Amino acid sequence: MPIPVNNEHYDLEFFHRKENSSYEFEDAPFCVCKGRPANQFETKTFRVLKGVNGNDESLFVFSTNLPTTEIKPKDRVKFMGKFWSVQSVGYYLDAARLINPSCLSEEQIVERCPKGLNLQ
């Protein structure tokens, strides 16, 4: 069995919200990818691209190849046997080990960095 990238053992299944409904979600996931809970150091370097972070008890997820363009805040996620709501989508700046991010464009930095989610 291959070793997962960055120890990402768990599946993330994303569900869109149904149109004209605030609490019903589609049955089939539109996207499935791998992830894991972020550790304390990674959590501190989380930069938000979309949405706002939740409260202190919210969960940060580390997922290297997360399709950030497809996922929106308020989408539903099945992660580690539980359903969560996406609070924000972003990336972990320090985890990319950039020597000097200031010279690079925003797109290049986002492309290089592992992505993440804030769930609640």
Partner 1 sequence: MRNITVISHYDDDNLKFNENTGRYELTTQYIKENFGPAYANDKVLAQRIKLNSQVVYNYINLHVATVNKPVVNFLLSRTEQGRQFILDLLSAQQYADIQTGYNDLMFQPVINFNGQDKDRLAIRQNALCVAAEQVLEESDNYFGVRITYQAQFPWPFFAFIRNYN
Contacts with partner 1, residue ranges (CB under 8 A): 96-108, 112
**Please, what is the minimum distance in Å from the beta carbon of residue 95 to partner 1?**
12
**Please, what is the minimum distance in Å from the beta carbon of residue 86 to partner 1?**
29
Q: If residue 108 lies in a helix (H) or strand (E), which one and from where to where?
A: helix 106-112
- Indicate the residue among 29 and 101 with the shorter CB distance to partner 1: 101
8 A C-beta contact, residue 13 and residue 32: yes
- Indicate the residue among 72 and 112 with the shorter CB distance to partner 1: 112
Q: Which residues contact 80 (CB under 8 A, 6 or more apart)?
A: 10, 37
What are φ and ψ of residue 96, in 5° steps?
-85, -5
- Indicate the residue among 80 and 109 with the shorter CB distance to partner 1: 109
Tokens 């969960």 label which residue? Answer: 59
Spatial separation of the C-alpha atoms in residues 10 and 13, rounded to whole Å: 10
**Please, what is the minimum distance in Å from the beta carbon of residue 114 to partner 1?**
14
**Please, what is the minimum distance in Å from the beta carbon of residue 106 to partner 1?**
8
| Residue 23 DSSP one-character state | S
- Indicate the residue among 32 and 104 with the shorter CB distance to partner 1: 104
